[in-house]
Amino acid sequence: MKTVHIIGAGLAGSEAAFQLAKRGYDVHLFEQKPIKKHPAFKTDNFGELICSNSLRSNDIHNAVGLLKEEMRQLDSLIMEAADKTKVEAGSSLAVDRELFSQDITEKISSFPNVHIHYEEVKDIDINIPSIICAGPLCEGALSGAINKLCGKDYLYFYDAIAPIVEKDSIDFSSAYYKSRYDEEGSGDYINCPLNKEEFEIFHREVVNAKKIELHDMDDEVYFEGCMPFEEMARRGYKTLLFGPMKPVGLEHDGQRPFAVVQLRKDNAIDTLYNIVGFQTHLTFGEQLRVLKLIPALKNVSIVRYGVMHRNTYINSPRVLNAYYQMINYPNIFVAGQISGVEGYVESAASGLYAALNMMQYLDKGNIEKSLKADTMMGAMAAYISDEHIEKLVPMNANFGIFKSEYQGGKKEKRNYYVEQSLKNIREYKESLCEYNHEKNLD
C-alpha cells in the first residue's frame, strides 16, 4: 500500500485525504489543531469555515457554480458535505458551518487507512510523497519549512472576518426579507435599510472608528474580495453604496432604501446570521457601536466579532506546475489557498485535483491524465502556474481564465463553456478508472 502524507485538514487537505483514502492509499493526515490553534479557528473539526458560511453561487452558468458541478462529478467530499448541510440562501450555497465541518471530520475519521496525527509539522521530508495543504494561516516552523522549499519569499495579504449576530436581536419593525439583490428565490436574506441621513451618520462613524492595531506585520495589503468595510468607507462616501450596502433591487413597499445591510443565515436552526460583506478589523467595542447605528440592529447581539488575520500564499508560478506539484521537488504537491487559489470552493477543488495528480504520480511516476484550461478546475491550475505571471494575485474562479476559442455572445459562450467543461470532466473521470484501486469505484 503506497503512503501519502497530507499536511493540514482544512478544505483542501480533507478533500485530498478523502480522494486518496477511498482509492486504498495509506494516508497520514497531519493536523495541528487542537495542539496549536490559530485564534481565527473556533473548533477542532476538519474543514472549518472561518469567514463566511457561503460557498457562493450555485448557478452552473456562474464560474464558481460550474466549479462546484465539476467537483460533484468527481465525487467531492466537500460538495457532498455542503449539499447535506445547506441552509437557505437563495441561489447561493450556504451551509451550517458546524454541521458541515462535523460531517467532514466524521467521514475522514471513518477510513481505516487514514492515520490522523494531531501535531505540528515542523519539517518536510522531500523523500516522502506529500500534499501540503497548510492553509493561508500557516505560520511558525511549518511556514519556514515551506519557504525553504520555495526558495522565494512569501507573498501575503490581509483578510478579515464578518461578525455573526443573533436573529432574535434584529428589529423586524425595520428589517424585511428579500433575496440577494432581488434575484429569484424565496427571500432568504434579512435586509436592514438606512435612509440618507442614517447612512451619512453611519459612514462618518465608521470612518472615524478605532481599528485593532496590527503588530509585527508589514504594510496592510488586502485581497479585494475581503476588503474590510471600514477600509471601503475610507475610500469614499459612495464606496459602500456600490459594495456591501448596495440597495439595487431591494425595494420594500415600493420604495428603494438609500442603503441596505444584508444578513445571511449562518446555521440550520435559523438563530444566527452573518453580516454580508462586513469583514472588519475594528475593535470589538467599535463594531458593536457602529452596527447599532443601523436601525434594524439597534439592539444587536454579536455572537462572533469580526477579526483580522494575515493570509499567506506562495508565488506559485515560480514554484508549481499545472498539477499543483513542486517543480524542484516532484514528491511534494501544494494545494489550498496557500497555493494561490482564492476561496472555499477553489481551495477544496485544488485539493481534489492535487490528490488525483498525486495518485497518478505514485502509480506511474508521471501524470498522464490531466485537465486542460477548458474546465474551471484545469483553468485554475493553469492560472496559478502560469510562468508569464511575475507576481501572483490570488483569484477566485472566473471565466476570464477559462481557455476556449469559442467566439459567440456572452450567454452562448457561457452555455458552451458549461457543456464543454462537463464533457471534459466526464472523459477525465473515465480515464482515471485504472487508478481506482477499490472495485466499488467507477
pLDDT band at 439 (very low <50, low <70, confident <90, very high): very low
288 CB-near residues (< 8 Å, 6+ apart)? 300, 302
pTM assigned to the model: 0.81
Domains and CATH numbers, the chain: 3-155+313-435 (3.50.50.60), 164-306 (2.40.30)
State pLDDT tens for residues 54-110. Answer: 999 999 999 999 999 999 999 999 999 999 999 999 889 999 999 999 999 999 999
The answer, yes or no, to whether residue 281 has pLDDT greater than 90, is: no
- CA dist 108 and 436 (Å) reads 18
Sign for the CA dihedral angle at 280, 283, 284, 290 comes to negative
pLDDT value, residue 413: 85
Give the pLDDT mean for 426-439: 77
| H-state helical runs in 135-243 | 140-150, 196-208, 229-235
For 207, other C-beta atoms within 10 Å of its C-beta total: 14
State pLDDT tens for residues 296-339. Answer: 999 999 988 988 777 788 889 999 999 999 999 999 999 999 99
pLDDT value, residue 440: 43
Q: Minimal CA–CA distance to 24: which of 42, 4, 51, 10?
A: 4
305 CB-near residues (< 8 Å, 6+ apart)? 163, 284, 287
CB burial of residue 196 (10 Å; 0-12, 13-18, 19+):
exposed
pLDDT value, residue 268: 87
The answer, yes or no, to whether residue 442 has pLDDT greater than 50, is: no
Phi (first) and psi of residue 33, to 5 degrees: -75, 145
> Which of 76-85, 104-113, 258-267, 425-434 is predicted with the least confidence, judged by mean pLDDT?
425-434
pLDDT value, residue 379: 94
CA atoms within 13 A on the CB side of 389: 20
- CA dist 236 and 242 (Å) reads 11
210 CB-near residues (< 8 Å, 6+ apart)? 282, 283, 286
- Of 156-165, 203-212, 394-403, 405-414, give the range with the top mean pLDDT: 203-212
The answer, yes or no, to whether residue 219 has pLDDT greater than 90, is: no
Q: Minimal CA–CA distance to 309: which of 174, 161, 172, 204?
A: 161
